[in-house]
Structure 1
Amino acid sequence: MSHILITTDYLRPGDESDQYLRGHGHTTVHEPMTGRRDPESLVAALAGTDAALVANEPLTAEVLSRAPRLRALVRTGVGYDSIDIAAAGKLGITVSNLPGVNANAVAEYTLGLLLAAARHLVHSATGVRAGSWPREDGHELRGSTLGLIGYGAAARAVVPLARAFGMNVLCTTNVPETERTDPAVRFVELSELLATADYVSVHTALTDRTRGLLDASAFARMKTTAILINTARGAIVDEPALADAVRTGGIAGAALDVVHEEPLPADSPLRDVDGIVVHSHLAGQTAEARRASGIKGAEEVVAALDGRPRFAVNTLFLQSR
Structure 2
Amino acid sequence: MSAVILVTGADLAPQAVSLLADCALVYAGMDCNEDKLVALCRQHDPVAIIARYGKISARVIAACSRLRVISKHGAGIDTIDSAAAQARGIAVKAAAGANAAAVAEHTWAMILACAKGIVRLDGRMRAGHWDKATHKSMELKGRTLGLVGLGAIGLRVAETGIALGMRVIAYDPFAKAFPTGVARGELDDVIATSDVLSLHCPLTAHNANMINAAALAAMRQGAILVNTARGGLIDEAALADALRSGKLRAAGLDSFQVEPYDGGHAFSSLPDAILTPHVAGVTEDAYVGMGTAAAQNVLDELAVTA
Same fold (TM over 0.5): yes
Deviation string, structure 1 residues 288-312 (Cα, Å, up to 9, x no partner): 1111111111111111112269xxx
8 A Cα contact 1:8 1:76, kept in partner? no
8 A Cα contact 2:110 2:226, kept in partner? yes
Question: What is the aligned counterpart of 1:84 among 81, 85, 96?
Answer: 81
1:131: Cα distance to partner? 3.5
CA RMSD in angstroms comes to 1.7
Gaps of 5+ in 1: 310-321
Deviation string, structure 1 residues 113-138 (Cα, Å, up to 9, x no partner): 11111111111122233333344221
Partner of 2:39: 44
Size of the alignment, in residue pairs?
Answer: 301
Task: Check if 1:105 corresponds to 2:105.
Answer: no
Partner of 1:120: 117
Partner of 1:286: 283
Partner of 2:147: 148
8 A Cα contact 1:204 1:232, kept in partner? yes
8 A Cα contact 1:163 1:169, kept in partner? yes
Q: TM-score, normalised by structure 1?
A: 0.89
Partner of 1:207: 204
- Matched-pair identity in %: 34
SS in 1 for 2:155: helix
Q: TM-score, normalised by structure 2?
A: 0.93
Partner of 1:3: 4
Measure the CA separation in 1 of the matches of 2:249 and 2:195. 10
Partner of 2:220: 223
Q: Which amino acid aligns with 1:6?
A: V
Q: Which amino acid aligns with 1:113?
A: M
1:268: Cα distance to partner? 2.0
Deviation string, structure 1 residues 93-132 (Cα, Å, up to 9, x no partner): 2111011111111111111111111111111122233333
1:8: Cα distance to partner? 3.8
Measure the CA separation in 1 of the matches of 2:194 and 2:10. 36
Deviation string, structure 1 residues 65-84 (Cα, Å, up to 9, x no partner): 11223221100111000111
Measure the CA separation in 2 of the matches of 1:87 and 1:299. 23
8 A Cα contact 2:110 2:274, kept in partner? no
The more displaced of 43-52 and 114-123 is 43-52
Task: Check if 1:64 corresponds to 2:65.
Answer: no
Deviation string, structure 1 residues 44-86 (Cα, Å, up to 9, x no partner): 2323222121114211112211122322110011100011101
8 A Cα contact 1:240 1:270, kept in partner? no
Deviation string, structure 1 residues 195-220 (Cα, Å, up to 9, x no partner): 21100000011001110000000000
Deviation string, structure 1 residues 203-245 (Cα, Å, up to 9, x no partner): 0110011100000000000011100000000000000000011
8 A Cα contact 1:180 1:187, kept in partner? no
1:91: Cα distance to partner? 2.0
The runs of 4+ residues in structure 1 deviating greater than 6 Å are none
Task: Check if 1:183 corresponds to 2:180.
Answer: yes
1:285: Cα distance to partner? 0.9
